[in-house]
Structure 1
Amino acid sequence: MTAVVLALLALQLGSLVSPAWACGCGALVPSAAQRIAVGREASVVRWDGRQEQIVMRLTVSGNTRQAAWIMPVPHRATATLADPALFDTLNAITAPVHRDRYHFWPQDGDWPLVSGDTGGGPPPGALPPPGVGVVGRERLGPFDVARLTATDPDALGDWLNTNGFVLPSRLGQALRPYVDQRWEYVAIRLAPATAGTTLTGALDPLHLTFAAESPVYPMRLSRLAGDPQSLGLYILAAHRMEPSGTIGGSRPLVAYAGRITATSGPLAALAKGTPFLTAVNQEFPDPSRITGDHLLRRTATDAPFQQVIYDDRLREVAGVPAWLLTIVGGLAALVTTAVLLAVRRARRPVLPPPPVIPPPPTHRPDRSG
């Protein structure tokens, strides 16, 4: 099975440092006086059945001025810069749809039930020690890229340390399975375009391409991170895809699934031949529980999905709550009815009492004579 494991390392400016583990995709080791943390990694995995491509962008914070990525890959990889607009397009496509949902009776937050809470450096150049080979080196914008082979994790660590990359012993042990499988490595150093500024915010995305038999997203080294991590994963394939398990994090949540309709731009170029896009979000509250890489598989159906966020609104008529109008209108109707009945009763003529008819005189027979 083919996999890609991604580890992020910071470039050491001094000779002695104390490792600080805080990275969503592996180990982060700033220099003694600097720090950096990865708050979110957003990646696109494209797989066409023969080849895998990964475009990854990290959002970082801290005060470090240089950083480096060390990426084990199962086969020889090519590295290029990616267009940052790719992620802007993906964010726009997969954003939740907002729809209004009206309610008649007031809820918390509606008048009169308003409560207090209404919110929602130099390139690598030293000679490699035995067990490490330098396949090539490229300069890609702000990146210095060195492609390496290694048959010994200790030798790999020695080369990295000699060339300014600090490889902590724990990460070296974590890389041993990939050294045993004779994977290759891409060492990438990044510095801001303006000297003296710090690495912060969304970094330039990097695009790797290599042969792959099965799609896998790298997460195994993330167990070294010390802070909770957030992953946003976009998967381009012929069909809808999903992670096969949680690998120690929360349940992956599908945010979007559907076919790409873009005909131009970086997304259309990347998605050619893999028209189905699946977006997955996952949280890792305790990265030490991560057990492996994300194995990606096809779902049972290609059913489309888009997240819907309902904005609850009180139904109104001309700016007045409908329930209030109903109550006021009902009361007004009752009062009006009562008044009309009273007026009608007041205007009804009073009939005089019937005349008293005296009884007819009683006729008595004459008894005289």
Structure 2
Amino acid sequence: MTSTTKLAAVLCMLAIGAAPLSASEFHFGGFIKANARHIDGNIAFQDSWTGGGSVTDPAKRSQFSATESRLNIGVTHGGVKGFIEVDFAGSSQGNAIISNSYSPRLRHAFIKHQEVTVGQTWSTLVNTSTFAETADLGGPLVGQAMVRQALVRYQSEHWQFALENPYTYGTQTLSDTAKTTGFEWIDTSNDYVPDAILRFDQQGDWGNVSVASLLRYLDPSSSAKLAVGVSVAAKLRTFGKDDLRIQLHYGNLGRYVGTDAARDIVNGKVETTTSAMFAYRHFWTERTRSSLFYGRTVTEVEQTDRAHIGANIFTNLTPALALGLELGRYQINDDLSAYTLQPVAQGASNYAQLSLQFHL
């Protein structure tokens, strides 16, 4: 067999193997986002305000970044849809001295067939339509449900039911070896019952609303504990193109709400969380709009109290290119330490952020 014949045979085999892909539809998306961020206060610098953070000495810091840039691929073949997405946030690989390298970070990777979704994506407790439009990644995360994780979900027109990855986050009653440190993290090797979420959705010309309940079986150190919480979220159209976005959460929601503002269990006790987020978006023109937003979480056992308020203005320079400026403030008003349950310092940081986002 000549080399030409061999090459032809290989190409034929590749064509045969690739034939089924010809029926697939590919969708590429994402965006490139550049940020300039300045923070002034006594809460340690964060690339975006989560519900976590710590009080430090007062400081000022400016940071330029492009790590929030995002790429995704969606594939549809027959009745099956696959989707995968990565960004580069929170995954430093190099350093600011030389390369500023960042590793891709998996956000979504799921398969959907008819009414069933399997893989990693937004938790069923999350209503993404109620996220505020912000320059700070995610907006007032301290008052929002914002979890991505592996799950199995069934969805009909109005109902969703899911079993999601179990994980217990928090501290347990101190052992003798941990008394010197003041706390001991929960051993997650005993997480064996999936979290269950039931959700109802209703939508119309007025917007949409979702009501979800969370049931968890927490069993750290073989001491069974039930955890139950409820979440209500809505996006409501008001005047013209304006809208009001609301999230309200209460119960044993732990890691599902507040993005590290609350734990599932604190020193052996199941935590109870109250969280809220409000955002109003107003369109000044067809291309220019502003959002005013506020988020807050308070807890009963740990007695955390954390809040984020801000306002911004966005304008589209082109249909795919948006420029935004945001001013805001993040506050920690905790009464007790998350670890020792002793009184702690309180603080706040003001920030200004300029972002340029190009949708691919």
* TM-score where L is the length of structure 2: 0.22
* TM-score where L is the length of structure 1: 0.21
Decide which structure has greater strand share.
Answer: 2
- Greater relative contact order: 1 or 2 (C-alpha under 8 angstroms, separation 6 or more)? 1
Higher radius of gyration, 1 or 2? 1
Decide which structure has greater helix share.
Answer: 1
